[in-house]
Amino acid sequence: MTAFKAGSVMRQLFDSMKRHASEAGDLLAVSDRYGQLSRGELFARVTALAADLKGQPRTIGIYAPNGLGWVIAQLACALAGKIVVPLPTFFSPMQLGHVVRDASVELILVSEQTAALAVQSGAPTHMIDVHRSGADLPDAIDGFGQIIYTSGSTGQPKGVRHQSGQIAWSAAALGTATAASATDTYLSVLPLPLLLETLCSIFIPTLIGAYVHFDTGLAEQVGRGDASGIAKAFEIHRPTMSVLVPQLLKHWVAELQGSGQFAPSSLRFVAVGGAPVPRQVANAAWRLGIPVHEGYGLSECCSVVAVNRPKERRPGTVGQPLSGLSVSIDDGEIVVDGPSITDGYLGQGPAKRPWRTGDLGEIHQDGFVTVHGRKDSLLVTSFGRNVSPEWIETMLLADPRIALCTVAGHGEPHLTVLLIPSPPGAAWFAKATRADILELLSDRCSDAPEYGVPRAYVIVSLEQALKNQLLSNGRPVRKAIGKFVLERAAA
């Protein structure tokens, strides 16, 4: 993995791109469903846009589908020393406007697909041209940074500030931990506004000269909570590496089991994070040829904190911390310190260090970390019983009939669960009686104490969940769900 030199992060990115373009400029660097770029073509497109951006405002949004345009825009902004604000295409106009105003975005780089919506935000726009080349950028400009908006569990998302140093350190540490090399082929299926996806599909491949394919359509589906077609994508592109969220992995496993097929033998490392992976799903994935490696991170720590390595893996854990990070447990809470910690939230003072993650966990003697759930999501029933909802949800998500679920019931005598059926499970739920569903809940939660088994449920479709704003970036908005399910259960 490329080693970074202090004070020369963007210069090194520029030099890496230039070297790859000159040494093997015809090799394929990046592709999507619309086209592809060689190393030489990518360098020419990036430097052309970077030169155009030199005289533009400092804070720039990127609002485009996953693919060539986003890659060019991200790298050009980095070389031009801009502050980048990724804008998810699945944001509503209201959410988009909030982020643009909150981050004081002065210019939005757009594609043909997003230009009209971007205008509604009130900020000026600039079309990303994936075909234009220009004169070389004389040198990289310092000042690059990124503002990442966390989905959060309640309220409006907050902007997390990172400078080039945190991003560069995280890219280098993650690349080393995953043994990334120029011979790798990376398949990108997660939306690029996720910092982890930006690190894995843009910065790391650019530095080491690896090839990346962006499955634009699948990434758009994922943004809407739809994972169908994932097995076909991996079979077509046959990558060596990728990053998934648990729901995508679960869907992939179900598709393979349904077809009697196996994952492509090209795979060597598939990272999964964002939520716990049910043990049954992880075991099934390995049997089907998916080399699952769980990890853990958060935006405030520049994405990854810990990850299982290719040759150092312990099932049921999120792996060991990245080399250079200090991870400890204080009153049950995971605490992190090191070079990847955020500068702070937008509009607030500097971040306090070490960073208290708000996640409950433990560190085993061999250094592997186990995450138990969010400290602030702990439920206390009216009988005084403490329940970690993530623990119960992980048990339920092992069932292929359940796509997503969220447990609520703080201050109530029993737990209530919101259930979103999977496409294969929708038919079963449509015919199931109340007794059938309660039996399903009881069977899946057999390892939980009696008070941890949900005694009531509310079933909604994915479309209903999105309409009622119960999900944000594919994750549950617990406060909204708690109110929603208790109202529905009482009706």
- Could you say which residues of the chain have pLDDT below 70? 1-9, 135-138, 151-156, 223-225, 473-474, 490-491
Closest by Cα among 173, 176, 156 to 165: 173
Q: What is the pLDDT of residue 3?
A: 47
pLDDT at residue 11 in the model: 77
Q: Which of 337, 370, 403 is the last residue of a domain?
A: 370
Q: The domain containing residue 266 runs over which residues?
A: 9-370
Handedness of CA 234, 236, 240, 242 (dihedral sign): negative
- pTM, two decimals, is 0.86
Non-local CB neighbours of 436 within 8 Å, separated by 6+ positions? none
- The DSSP bridge partners found for residue 129 are none
In a domain, 458, yes or no: yes
How many CB atoms are closer than 10 A to CB 358? 14
pLDDT of residue 223: 63
Residues 293 and 389 in one domain: no
Buried b or exposed e, range 363-375, using 16+ CB within 10 angstroms: beeeebbbbbbbb
pLDDT of the residue at 5? 44
Confidence (pLDDT) at 212: 98
Residues 206 and 236: beta-carbon distance below 8 Å: no
Same domain for 312 and 392, yes or no, is: no
Cis peptide before 93 (omega within 30 of 0): no
Closest CA to 357 of 385, 326, 384: 326
Q: Would 363 be classed as within a structural domain?
A: yes
Tally of domains within the chain: 2
Last residue of one domain, picked from the residues 342, 370, 398: 370
- Check if the beta carbon of residue 414 is closer than 8 Å to that of residue 382: no
- The pLDDT of residue 471: 80
The enclosing domain of 390 has a CATH number of 3.30.300.30
Distances (CA, A) of 5 to 78, 193, 302, 339: 16, 26, 19, 14
* pLDDT of amino acid 7: 44
Q: Which one, of 275, 277, 291, lies nearest residue 395 by Cα?
A: 277
**For position 224, what pLDDT does the model report?**
66
Do 339 and 205 lie in a common domain? yes
Q: Which of 431, 294, 310 is nearest to 370 (CA)?
A: 294
